[in-house]
Structures are given as C-alpha cells and as structure tokens.
Amino acid sequence: MSAVASFGPATQDAAKLILMFGEEVAAEVFRKLSPAEVQHLGAAVYAIEDVNEDEADRVLEDFLTKLAGETGLAYRAGGYVRSVLSDAFGPDRAQSVLARINPLSLERPIELLDWMDAATVLDVVSDEHPQIIALVIACLDATRGSIVLTSLDEELQSDILRRIATLGTVTPEALADLEKVLQRKFKASSSSSASQIGGVKAAARIMNFMRSDAEARILKDIRKDNKDLMTAIQDNMFVFDNLGKSDDRSLQTLLRAIDPEQLVLALKGADDVLRERLLSCMSLRAAAGIRDEMEALGPVRLSEVQEAQKRIVASAREMADAGTIVLAGRGGEEMV
C-alpha cells in the first residue's frame, strides 16, 4: 500500500488542494488547524508525489461544488470563485482551470459567462448572429463587454451596441438560443423565467470603457438611425457629476489643464458637494478666484452650463485615454 493510500479520500483531496494553492495559501490554511490536524494533513501532503491535470480538475470541481452547497454561493458564484482561485493560482492559471471545469452549481445558463474571460467569449460569439452577440455582451461586466465589443469588426460594433441599448426583458426562448451558444464551452441548465438584460444603461456602461474615438464612431452610426437612442446612451455615460468620485491627484491634473472660464460656468450648475470637492483640489488662492468669478458672473443659461460641463468631461476622457489621469467608473489602471 502506498503512503498516499493510507489516508482517506477526503484527506487526500485536501492535500492535493493545498499543493495546488501554493505556499502562501497553504500556510494560511495550516494556521487555522489544530496541531493534530496540521500533523495529519501535513503527512498527507508529504506523501503526494504528483497531481496530474485531470486529477487536479476533479479535485477542484468537487471543492467548488461543496463550496457552493455549504456557503449558499450556488447563485452567481462564478465571479466570487474566480476571484478566490485567481488569488490562489494567479489569473492565468485560474482561468485555465476554470475553462476545464463544469460549474455544476450554476442554475442559469447566462451565469456561465462569469467563468469566461473576454478572449473566450469572443471565440464563442464571433460567428454568431448580432442579436446573440448583443445578449452575450450585455450579460458581461462592462470591462469585459467593452473588450469583446471593440474586438469585433468595426462595422458590427454600432449595430451590437444599438441592440444592447434596446434590450429589455428577455424571453426564455431567447435565453434558450443563448444557451445553445454557451454549450459550446460549458454544460448548462435551462431557465424558465424572463430576465432583464441590457438596456440603455448597460450600453452606456460599456461605452464608458471604450476609447473616445471608438465611442464617437459608434454613437455617430447609431445617431443616423435613432437620434433619441444615441442621446439616451450619451446621457447615461460618464458625466460631470461623476468627476467627484475620482482621486485627488487626477482631479488636480485635470483642473490645471482646463480653461478656468469653462470651470466657472460648469460649477454654476454643480451641487454644493461636487463644487467643494473640485475646489478642494485647487490651491486656496485659485479656489477663491473661481468663487469670486462665479459670484460676479450672475445667472447663466442652463445650456451654457451643460456645454461647459460636456467640454470638461471630454477633456477628462481624453486625458484618461492617454493615461494622464484615472476616472473612477471608467476602468483603467491606477497611476503610480
């Protein structure tokens, strides 16, 4: 009898998980155990000579299934589990493992998208009907959705975003079509209830993660067919009020770059919280000057305020695209 066979199946699987998790995670696990448990599990780990890929997948699948059952994570568990495994294995290894594991705990087919990275989604949908592509992208988080959208042929992008913006309650029949696409990668179960997917806000969130040139082109194309839809998408995208969520350094850089006259106009229409947030990122002297100019300006037309705010937002987005600043809510990496 081998040394490994002297341990029970559960102990052997736990030992294999420890080996796959790596030293840091293993150390954290051992810190939670009693001395007797450390000795027992440590001996089981020591006895394991190798874990092949198929066995690793089996152990992980069993682990994920038990995790879902014991913690109530069967619903929308994909993102959580991917995060846990990414911390343990690193994003590349985690994605490789997840791509081969059948997520048995998921109840709705669209939840399988939580297990796919943007490249996998693109591979699945690239040859599908635009309506299927729109459904799939609408189910993704905005970051992955924007990557998939901009990876498609340019002539398709505006059509896809238009379809996303006009989605609403999706019937079980439509979800069944989506399930057929997803079954190329994963096993799924059917859903019997209608679901809310897409819509103007979803389309706007995706557009917030796109570069300004791609956004302008897509919105221009949509405007040709449906000006109201284009306006609705624009109205739900990153707006002047969102600036207050950005970090101090980004706001300081932005405020130094914009026309003070435009800032005076824009702040005339801002609420007190946002106004003070932006002015706090300026020197005391500069902020006092802006306040004096606002008071001296008197009443102004709302259209002038809105135009000034749009110009500042446009400048902010250009600077974010160039990597000069980070806009909260638009993605991108933080500057260091």
Taking the whole predicted model, whether its pTM rises above 0.85 is answered as: no
Q: For the segment 206-229, what is each residue's pLDDT rounded down to a tens digit? A: 887 777 678 888 899 999 989 989
Helices and strands in the chain: count of H runs, count of E runs: 19, 2
> Is 13 a residue whose pLDDT tops 90?
no
Q: Letter for the amino acid at 23? A: E
* Spatial separation of the C-alpha atoms in residues 42 and 106, rounded to whole Å: 33
The per-residue pLDDT for 68 is 52
In angstroms, the Cα distances linking 174 to 98, 108, 235 are 26, 13, 28
Q: Are 101 and 57 in contact (CB under 8 A)?
A: yes
* Spatial separation of the C-alpha atoms in residues 137 and 125, rounded to whole Å: 9
> Is 275 a residue whose pLDDT tops 80?
yes
Q: Are 280 and 287 in contact (CB under 8 A)?
A: yes
Average pLDDT over residues 320-333: 68
* Spatial separation of the C-alpha atoms in residues 130 and 270, rounded to whole Å: 40
Q: For the segment 169-202, what is each residue's pLDDT rounded down to a tens digit? A: 767 777 777 777 676 555 433 333 444 556 887 7
The per-residue pLDDT for 290 is 93
**What is the chain's mean pLDDT, rounded?**
75
Among 53-62, 80-89, 120-129, 304-313, the range with the most confident prediction by mean pLDDT is 304-313
Residue 195, strand partner residues: 170
User: What is the set of domains in the chain, with CATH numbers?
Assistant: 4-105 (1.10.220), 111-235 (1.10.220.30), 240-321 (1.10.220.30)
Among 27-41, 52-66, 74-88, 158-172, the range with the most confident prediction by mean pLDDT is 158-172
Q: Band the pLDDT of 329: cuts 50, 70, 90.
A: low
Instruction: Give the CA-trace dihedral at 250, 255, 259, 262, to 10 degrees.
Output: 100
Q: Letter for the amino acid at 24? A: E
More confident: 185 or 234: 234
Helices 9-21 and 23-31, axial angle in degrees (round to 10)? 130
Q: Band the pLDDT of 77: cuts 50, 70, 90.
A: very low
The per-residue pLDDT for 119 is 80
Residue 169, strand partner residues: 196
> Is 291 a residue whose pLDDT tops 90?
yes
The per-residue pLDDT for 107 is 44
Q: Are 182 and 124 in contact (CB under 8 A)?
A: yes
User: Per mean pLDDT, which range of 2-16, 111-125, 175-189, 296-310 is the poorest?
Assistant: 175-189
Q: Band the pLDDT of 297: cuts 50, 70, 90.
A: confident
More confident: 39 or 269: 269
Would you list the DSSP string of 161-189? HHHHHT--EEPHHHHHHHHHHHTTTS---
In angstroms, the Cα distances linking 177 to 47, 106, 145, 158 are 48, 18, 19, 22
Q: For the segment 137-152, what is each residue's pLDDT rounded down to a tens digit? A: 888 888 788 889 989 9
Q: Are 232 and 262 in contact (CB under 8 A)?
A: no
The per-residue pLDDT for 93 is 55
4 DSSP assignment: G
Burial zone of 300 (CB within 10 Å; 0-12 exposed, 13-18 middle, 19+ buried): middle
